[in-house]
Amino acid sequence: MADPVLQIRSLDAFYGDFQALFSLDLEVASDGVIAIIGANGAGKSTLMRSISGMLQNRPDSILYQGEPIGGLRADQVAGKGIALVPEGRQLFPSLSVEENLIIGGRMRRPGPWSLAAIYDLFPILQERRHQASTSLSGGQQQMVAIGRALMANPSLLMFDEISLGLAPVIIRQIYEVLPKIIATGMSAIIVEQDISKALEVSSHVYCLQEGRVSLSGQSDTITREQISEAYFGARSDHGLA
Amino acid sequence: MDWLNAIVQGTLLGGLYALFAAGLSIIFGVMRLVNIAHGDLIVLAAYLGLTITMLLGIHPLVALLVLVPVMALIGYGLQRLILNRTLGEDILPPLLVTFGLSVIIQNALLEVYTADPQKLQAGALEIASLNIGGLAIGYLPLLMFVTAVIVIAGLQFIFYRTALGRAFRAVSDNQDIAQLMGLNRRHIFAVAMALSLAVVAIAAIFLGTRTSFDPAVGGGRLIFGFEAVIIGGLGNLWGTLAGGIILGVAQAIGAQLHPGWQILAGHIVFLAILAVRPRGLFPRMDG
Ligand SMILES: Nc1ncnc2c1ncn2[C@@H]1O[C@H](COP(=O)(O)OP(=O)(O)O)[C@@H](O)[C@H]1O
Ligand SMILES: [Mg+2]
């Protein structure tokens, strides 16, 4: 088996004195797709920030293609081919739709993604390309955020709760194209509260609880009971909707 | 005719104020930094311009070819070595540090150049004028105004039509997310400061050829620059030009009313506009 693209080895992450992640271990296989689930405040976004370099950590706690990147700045990590679709989309309001996409590709890494390829994938963005990104609907903004990350032609693409705040029909559309996107040759980490969507698109799933991995396993064999337990800690009566 | 003359001369002077203001506007726009030392950096640039003209025996306008890159380098270094360290959630450290820088620059200039007023010699250009319908329009003020318009148009182009401008706007919108695009904000901030001080160099040469200067005049230039930025609306470059013109015209009309009222009239118009439009005349929509 090929070496994993990303290895996380006992990662601790802090906000000042507050520790948000505890000795976390995780692995993404080359061309693999993992899902990360967990309740609000479990530390999913903190993990995204740690990998992307927005939070700095012990260098060897995060290995990317075998290289320690835990101590790098976000712009350095981005240059190595890791892209993030951040929670809440976070488009640049002073940039038009097209400018948001172009700036995503400013590092000019080679690969299949270009403005034309993004417009092929999401034709509505071409129609709206000169508009302010803030004038778009939530679903269209999410398309811009995904397109902006793809423009970097990443080797590892991370999605942080892309279905958050979107209508079910939009979520379905986005999850229809997601596997096709990933199949163009990248590994992916999908952070998702919608557990069935998370299991559907991933081969491996990790559940976080209070900054620790409470469960991990194959997406197709893991049971709802196991997840329910891992989500809420001790065995509980909470059913998962 | 006197009034028309006052308005025309005030408008042309407004070009100089817009040049003072543009540099402030750039760095406030990109990194929300209020640079208290801006006026003293203008005076520093005027002295460096003086030294360059004397050493090389060249015209002050030709000296810009050397002064602009020198000031841009100073700006880049200043930002990377000092000012970047002060930026964060708290707005007080950059204010204090640039205030300290202002004091240091003034004292260093006093030490090196003494308190004697100096002037840049522009030769025949200083007195030549154009006669239009009875109005005498000096070549120097006219050149100053045209330069201001070109500089503002150039900055507008950089901000809205180039990759660097996209980077400036992205970093200004959201520093963390901009880093995810591979932008190193420390470098982008330093480039913005370099651009600001390149404009400062141009402003300084016009300041120094128009009037005499000494190490203490920086504070006044800072105030005029601030007033022009705020009248025009924060973050709007053409607004900054309008702000400069309004300030220049107000001062010229004040001086026409009474010779001692020039500066006062500018401040009064500034306060009046601030009272009616706290965000300036042309605030940026998304600001
Ligand atoms: N900027 C921050 N400063 C301090 N604490 C934070 C910050 N961001 C998140 N946290 C805390 O870290 C923990 C994990 O948050 P987060 O990673 O955002 O969770 P999730 O994405 O799983 O909802 C929470 O307890 C949260 O309150
Ligand atoms: Mg989150």
Q: Are B167 and A92 a contacting pair at CB < 8 A? A: no
What tokens does B205 get?
């040469």
Question: Do the Cβ atoms of B174 and A134 come within 8 Å?
Answer: no
According to DSSP H, which parts of A128-190 are helical?
Answer: 138-150, 168-182
Q: How many CB atoms lie within 10 A of CB B162?
A: 11
| Ligand 1, pocket-test mutation among A12, A14, A15, A48, most atoms within 8 A of CB | A15
The pLDDT score that the predictor gives to residue A1 is 54
So what's the pLDDT on residue A239?
Answer: 45
Q: Band the pLDDT of B234: cuts 50, 70, 90.
A: confident
Which residues in chain A touch residue B174, judged by CB atoms under 8 angstroms apart? 90, 92
Mean pLDDT taken over chain A:
93
pLDDT in tens, B6-51: 999 999 999 999 999 999 999 999 999 999 999 999 999 999 999 9
pLDDT score of B133 = 84
Task: Determine, for residues A73 and B184 on separate chains, whether the beta-carbon distance falls below 8 Å.
Answer: yes
Query: What is the pLDDT at residue A234?
Result: 54
Which has the closest alpha carbon to A73: B178, B86, B192, B76? B178
Averaged over B222-238, what is the pLDDT? 93
Average pLDDT rounded to a whole number, residues B107-120: 97
Helix (H, G, I), strand (E, B) or coil at A56: coil
If you average pLDDT over residues A88-116, what whole number do you get? 96
Fold classification of B2-276 (topology level): ABC transporter involved in vitamin B12 uptake, BtuC (1.10.3470)
Among protein residues, the one with the nearest Cα to ligand 1's atom 9 is A46
A231 confidence band (pLDDT: 50, 70, 90): confident
- Measured at the alpha carbon of residue A28, what is the angle toward residues A27 and A29, in degrees to the nearest 5? 115
Mean pLDDT, residues A78-84: 98
Rounded Cα distance, B35 and B94, in Å: 8
Q: Which of B89, B173, B181, B189 should be substituted to probe chain A, the one whose Cβ sees the most A Cβ atoms within 10 Å? A: B181
CB of A41 shorter than 6 A to ligand 1: yes
Compute the average pLDDT of residues B100-104: 98
Best of A24, A46, A158, A213 for a ligand 1 pocket test (most atoms within 8 Å of beta carbon):
A46
Does the beta carbon of A15 sit less than 6 angstroms from any atom of ligand 1? yes
Q: What HEC string does A69-123 produce?
A: CCCCCHHHHHHCCEEEECCCCCCCCCCEHHHHHHHHCCCCCCCCCCHHHHHHHCH
Give A10-39 pLDDT, tens digit per residue. 999 999 999 999 999 999 999 999 999 999
pTM: 0.94
- C-alpha distances out from residue A200 to A38, A47, A175, A205, A240, Å: 16, 22, 9, 10, 16
Checking if the pLDDT of A212 tops 70, the result is: yes
State yes or no: pLDDT of A199 exceeds 90. Answer: yes
Find the residue in B nearest to A96 (Cα): B166
A103 with B177: Cβ contact below 8 A: no
Provide the 3-class DSSP secondary structure of residue B45: helix
Interface test with B, best of A51, A92, A97, A135 (most B CBs within 10 A): A92
Contacts of A107 in chain B (CB under 8 A): 181-182
Mean pLDDT of B137-163: 97
